[in-house]
Amino acid sequence: MNDPGTEFIKKTRYPDFSTVDMILRIPEPPQGIPVPEGAKVIKLPSPKRIKVNSVAIRDALEQWEPEGFFSRSSITLKELSFLLWCTQGYRKIKDSEVTIRNVPSSGSRYPIETYFVAGEIEGLETGLYRYLPLSHQIVVERVDSDLPFAMGTASMNFKLVTRAAVTFLWVGIPYRSTWALGNRGFRSVLIEVGHICQALIMASSCIGCRVHPIDLFHDEMMIQLAQLDAETQWPLYVGVVGRRERDL
């Protein structure tokens, strides 16, 4: 019987750096997916000006549990801005190469792209968006009122997702990491998406929301939904954000 787990660990052990593309002077891959020509880009409110509740770390951890139900609720554009900044945003840009973001990344490679389906976000049409961390903006990938239903089907959590305010889809681009780290970079991609989801859980508690992480989904459906390149862009994890009770 094949053992893909053992094979993965063996093939991603500490690499021979003489075979790493960075050492071989192969050009570095871009740090972000280009914005399509003519696409609408929306500037988000500055995270420095957003006031949220102070929640103790212990309270945030002890109050979290897997969600089986969300009421239909919404979040504001400011709250979305806060969640995106906490999970993927820049805290400091020192120069063109050295940056500090809100989640750790092996070798500062940051191989994760954040997509999200807006269900009920004030000021945004229902549809698929992608976060642009460096400029703290979002790009409209597709406006479509049926996308929450498509995401619910793809994630096998139809009722939860269709009632959520927003559903995040984190997509890994492994070559950003393997370019510098060799095969070891594949581990880094999987580890980093876990950091991001945990940050979302903590940040969501500050705006009165809860998060249901989903790692079991139909890969091909997610690839089609986000129009990904299946060879280089991998759907890895989903985070559904909502409230148990309707907003007052």
All structural domains of the chain with their residue ranges: 42-242
Which pTM was predicted?
0.94
Work out the average pLDDT over 72-76: 92
Other C-beta atoms closer than 10 Å to the C-beta of 59 total 11
One-letter identity of residue 9: I
Output the pLDDT for position 248: 41
Q: How confident is the model at residue 144 (pLDDT cuts 50, 70, 90)?
A: very high
What tokens were used for 182?
A: 């060799």
Domain 42-242, CATH? 3.40.109.10
What is each CA distance from 115 to 54, 132, 180, 226, 238, in whole angstroms?
A: 27, 10, 24, 8, 10
Which residue has tokens 């696409």?
39
Tens-digit pLDDT profile for residues 147-195: 999 999 999 989 899 999 999 999 999 999 999 999 999 999 999 999 9
For 47-51, 181-185, 231-235, which range has the lowest pLDDT when averaged over its residues? Answer: 47-51
Are the beta carbons of 70 and 207 closer than 8 angstroms?
no
Output the pLDDT for position 244: 82
The residues, ordered by sequence, that sit 6+ positions from 137 with a Cβ below 8 Å of its Cβ are 41, 42, 43, 44, 131
For 46-55, 169-178, 231-240, which range has the lowest pLDDT when averaged over its residues? Answer: 46-55
What tokens were used for 77?
A: 């554009």
Residue 47's closest CA among 136, 117, 138, 148?
136
Tens-digit pLDDT profile for residues 28-48: 999 899 999 999 999 999 988
Residue 121's closest CA among 223, 45, 40, 39?
45
Residue 202's closest CA among 213, 191, 192?
213
Backbone angles phi, psi at 80, to 5 degrees: -60, -45
